[in-house]
Structure 1
Amino acid sequence: MRKSIQRTGITLALIGAVLVSACGNQAGSGTGADGQAGQPAEVKSKKPITLTIFTNGVTPAEFDDRFRGMLKEKFPHVTIEYIQSAKGSSIADLVAQNKIPDIIRTDIPTLYSGYLDYKIGYDLSELIKKNKYDLNRFNKVFIDEIVTVGQTGAIYGLPVPPYFPQALYYNKDLFDKFGVPYPKDGMTWDEVYELAKKMSRTDGGTIYRGFSANTMAMLRDNPFSHPILDPNADQLSDTEIWQKMFTNFKRFYEIPNNPIEKTAAAENTVFGKGNVAMMLNQHSVYLTIPPEINWDIVSYPLQTGAPKLMPQRGPAYWSITNATKHKDEAFEIITAMLSDEMQLSDSRKGLPTTLTKKEVMDELGKGHPVYSKKNMNAINVYQPVTFTPKRKADLIDIPGITQQNWMAETFQKVAGSGADMNTALRELDERLKAEIAKLKSQKQP
């Protein structure tokens, strides 16, 4: 079994035929055979059935809050059994017990290890065509990514909110305290750097930092869509681009009174202490900022030479298994959970939509007690950046979590310990090569 996703740079041409057929004779209409946006044709059989939904991360409480009521009302003949992965009920356990779920919430990093490697994958293309389901409802970036990772042109899932866009957070009270104008949407990194210099100071014996970051996300999800491992060779990808990013970010930690924390984990959370003016991080309903911090956000700053796009971590996907005896009903269920109505509800709760519909995007956070008072439109200033290129299928891959941890550690050496940037990147390259060699030797008989 593969330990990580095998990546490839295959063309996305195959998706074109599916996109066209998904729209039927009215491409772009967004309607299925029942006339509802993003909904499949109604399944005629209404006999009582049970469908099992399995996820790794979403708690039963969150699932119930978002979906249970709608599913019970719309599908009274369907009993939903919900399983969150735990000891004894992981996907490996369920497959071993021949209790394969009908629906799985998959994601890109574990599409193989948690789904396809178990030979339970199911291509949704025929159901999409049969129901004239419009894939153009979704941001193309998210559909393209799962098709690319799947390698065969198959569509192994439909993107479910949230995805995780990056934004620049700032502490309004600190800017007020020192009489410095707030950050604004559309800023460049050079402008943010000047703000960070003004906000890095000591006052009354307290050190106030101008800038902090979730360095792991900052480097992994970058505006160049630049991967860590080269997609086509066993080495660090284009070092010049990493040098450009390191140079941009390390200067912030060379500002007096703005030292980086000793670990990436500490740097990621220091904004919550109240003495940091700005933080680069993902917008996420799972990100906890203490209520006493009077914060807001602006759009991701633009970097010279990079596309005017917003770095982001992609969403999870609702997938169907090939073991289910109720594929039509399962498709009804997942598309109902991705309807305009449900995505509008998710958006109002602060979960960024996977749709392109402006009316849904504009409602982001408006029903949330905290986000409704924030500049959530900052998330919509730029389009999401395209996904990073995937490794060729015949190349050994290193788990993504390992790659991103090592990259964050490398930046930590440069920004925190003053290590030479070129030397640190060369050492990372050697570390990656050594790990690939080890993985190759483990595969040999």
Structure 2
Amino acid sequence: MIKKRVSLAIVLTSMATIFAACGGGTAQQAANSPDTTGTSTPAPAKSANTGPREITMYTAGGAIDEKTFDSMYGNAIRKKFPDVTVKYIPNGKGSTMADLITAGTTVDVVFDSIAYANTFRDFGIQVDMTPYIKSRGLDLGKFEQTAIDFQRKMGNGAINSLPVWTASAGLFYNKELFDKFGVPYPKDNITWTEVYDLAKRLTRNEGGIQYVGYVTAAGSQANTNQLGLKYIDAKTGKAQIDNDDWTKFMQSIAQFFQITGVDWTAQNSTVAAMRAMFEKERVAAMYTNYSGGTPPDDMKWDVVKVPSYEQAPGVGPQSYPAYLSIASLSKNKELAFDVIAYLVSEEYQLENTKAGRATVLNNKDIIKQYGASMEKFKGKNIAAMFPEKRAPIGDYTPYDTIASGKFAAAFTEVIVNKKDINTALREANEAANKEIEALKQKTK
């Protein structure tokens, strides 16, 4: 129990904006609640639902309003299960996971992005869905497999969550700028070296306007990196962002911002500012998006696969899925799983994908329908946003948030303050480990 309590405190401290005012006592309570590990969950009988036909869903991460929840999940569930009452509890003041556990609130299904992967492990409210999966005959082979492999790794073989949608990713480009400067459009299976060559041709000053060849969110690119690099050494629990591999990776991004002509400052180097260069100001020719976003409707754009590295040919970025889980707080786990099974079914996935939320299934017919209900996607290279081969998902340790933040800060130091990469990453690694150690001491 000491380890569980320490781990919980680490997560709470590093994600303070998500979980507030929670101590080890709630972890103890959760750990003593039924089905905390899921290992003793009996094999359920199919559709043996008992109790009220009511489902309460909760998000422990970034809260969404009820209207958005209904458009994503609520309305579809009510249509499929007309006799079921669907309730939604968003994370917020007085309704953090810790608050709900303490109050003994019934929560049946929790949905969260992978960023909150430690939530169930550290609160001890996970339920191993393996018996339900087997009894319902749910085929895990139909999913994009890195999302399933990640769950097996996190659960030491147990499946505590199932992916419901993921973030598409791609190299988006503004056709008008390519046409303006007579540069050929990028193509699928392009490498980062080739993109760099394009970026140099597109970074120029014309008519007093500074154009930029390529911009990105360096932190997101690192979080979903194609090379399998990890922020934290799993054995030591320390940051490892100053090794040769991370140094080369940083250089692969920083080189685009070292092309002569652009003066990068604290103001124009933020993620928001660079995205605005592409979407609003229309002065950036290419932009990689790893979070599922797409350019505005009125832009003449298209997309190709995220470029690959020569040392990892054909490997796309890591998946960044959202997951559905049964909470041990549920009084009707049978119905909870039935709802989850529907949300990962081809029926729901097709409609969800048409609405612009990328499917987690390996069904090419569904993938082709991505954004079909949205005018902006017509005629676009949709398949490019779904890598055929993805890099394995990272570990998402309780310390990843710290190291990730330091890496992003080091990137700014390199492109704004002209600090050399080795120095920037060494200082970032030292700062990360100092913060990690302070966190460890605080939670002893």
Q: If the TM-score is normalised by the length of the shorter chain, which range does it land in?
A: 0.7 to 0.9
2:233 and 2:240 in contact (8 A); partners too? yes
Question: SS of 2:111's equivalent?
Answer: strand
Q: Structure 1: which amino acid aligns with 2:188?
A: D
* Number of residue-to-residue matches in the alignment: 400
Confirm or deny that 1:364 pairs with 2:370: yes
Confirm or deny that 1:178 pairs with 2:184: no
| CA distance 1:180–1:168, shift in 2 (3 Å) | same
Q: Which residue is 2:220 aligned to?
A: 217
2:53 and 2:83 in contact (8 A); partners too? yes
| CA distance 1:67–1:99, shift in 2 (3 Å) | same
Confirm or deny that 1:90 pairs with 2:93: no
**Which whole-Å CA distance do the structure 1 matches of 2:437 and 2:331 have between them?**
43
Q: Which residue is 1:276 aligned to?
A: 284
1:225 and 1:386 in contact (8 A); partners too? yes
Q: Which residue is 1:138 aligned to?
A: 143
Question: SS of 1:218's equivalent?
Answer: helix
- Residues 100-155 of structure 1: CA distance to partner in whole angstroms, max 9, x if unpaired? 3111113433233x3343332111111112222211111111011122123x3221
Q: Which residue is 2:16 aligned to?
A: none
Q: 1:102 aligns with which of 91, 101, 108?
A: 108
**Which whole-Å CA distance do the structure 2 matches of 1:153 and 1:311 have between them?**
24
TM-score, normalised with respect to structure 1: 0.83
| CA distance 1:244–1:130, shift in 2 (3 Å) | same
1:228 and 1:236 in contact (8 A); partners too? yes
> 1:67: Cα distance to partner?
3.3
Q: 1:188 aligns with which of 168, 183, 191?
A: 191
- Residues 384-428 of structure 1: CA distance to partner in whole angstroms, max 9, x if unpaired? 22112465xxxxx42x33322210110121222221111112112
1:260 and 1:267 in contact (8 A); partners too? no
Q: 1:68 aligns with which of 51, 68, 74?
A: 74
- Percent identity over the alignment is 32
Question: SS of 1:208's equivalent?
Answer: strand
| CA distance 1:382–1:415, shift in 2 (3 Å) | farther
**Larger displacement relative to structure 2 (331-340 or 81-90):** 81-90
Q: Structure 1: which amino acid aligns with 2:202?
A: M
> 1:5: Cα distance to partner?
6.0
Alignment of 1:141-180 (within 5 A): 141-150=146-155, 152-161=156-165, 163-180=166-183
**Which whole-Å CA distance do the structure 1 matches of 2:350 and 2:255 have between them?**
40
Confirm or deny that 1:339 pairs with 2:339: no
**Which whole-Å CA distance do the structure 1 matches of 2:49 and 2:239 have between them?**
54
- Residues 228-285 of structure 1: CA distance to partner in whole angstroms, max 9, x if unpaired? 222223241571111211222222112122444524333344322211111122251x
**Which whole-Å CA distance do the structure 1 matches of 2:75 and 2:395 have between them?**
39
**Which whole-Å CA distance do the structure 2 matches of 1:270 and 1:313 have between them?**
26
| CA distance 1:111–1:437, shift in 2 (3 Å) | same
**Which whole-Å CA distance do the structure 1 matches of 2:175 and 2:45 have between them?**
50
| CA distance 1:47–1:121, shift in 2 (3 Å) | closer
1:105 and 1:319 in contact (8 A); partners too? yes
Q: 1:253 aligns with which of 242, 250, 257?
A: 257
**Which whole-Å CA distance do the structure 2 matches of 1:432 and 1:296 have between them?**
38
> 1:293: Cα distance to partner?
3.0
**Which whole-Å CA distance do the structure 2 matches of 1:230 and 1:196 have between them?**
34
> 1:173: Cα distance to partner?
1.1
- Residues 60-92 of structure 1: CA distance to partner in whole angstroms, max 9, x if unpaired? 223322333432233222111122222222222
> 1:291: Cα distance to partner?
4.1
| CA distance 1:68–1:435, shift in 2 (3 Å) | closer
**Which whole-Å CA distance do the structure 2 matches of 1:131 and 1:176 have between them?**
53
Q: Structure 1: which amino acid aligns with 2:364?
A: K
**Which whole-Å CA distance do the structure 2 matches of 1:261 and 1:366 have between them?**
39
Q: 1:315 aligns with which of 316, 321, 325?
A: 321
| CA distance 1:4–1:350, shift in 2 (3 Å) | farther
Question: SS of 2:378's equivalent?
Answer: helix
Q: Which residue is 2:428 aligned to?
A: 428
1:223 and 1:309 in contact (8 A); partners too? yes
2:254 and 2:415 in contact (8 A); partners too? yes
2:326 and 2:337 in contact (8 A); partners too? yes
1:193 and 1:252 in contact (8 A); partners too? yes
Q: Which residue is 1:350 aligned to?
A: 356
- Once superposed, what is the RMSD of the aligned Cα atoms? 2.4
Q: Which residue is 1:201 aligned to?
A: 204
Q: Which residue is 1:124 aligned to?
A: 129
Q: Structure 2: which amino acid aligns with 1:380?
A: F
2:226 and 2:390 in contact (8 A); partners too? no
Q: Which residue is 2:120 aligned to?
A: 115
Q: Which residue is 1:50 aligned to?
A: 54
**Which whole-Å CA distance do the structure 2 matches of 1:431 and 1:59 have between them?**
36
**Which whole-Å CA distance do the structure 1 matches of 2:172 and 2:45 have between them?**
43
TM-score, normalised with respect to structure 2: 0.83
Gaps of 5+ in 1: 7-39, 392-396
> 1:294: Cα distance to partner?
2.4
**Which whole-Å CA distance do the structure 2 matches of 1:425 and 1:438 have between them?**
20
Q: Structure 2: which amino acid aligns with 1:224?
A: L
Q: 2:244 aligns with which of 228, 235, 240?
A: 240
**Which whole-Å CA distance do the structure 2 matches of 1:74 and 1:294 have between them?**
38
Q: Structure 1: which amino acid aligns with 2:203?
A: S
Q: Structure 2: which amino acid aligns with 1:405?
A: G
Alignment of 1:283-298 (within 5 A): 283-284=291-292, 287=293, 289-298=295-304
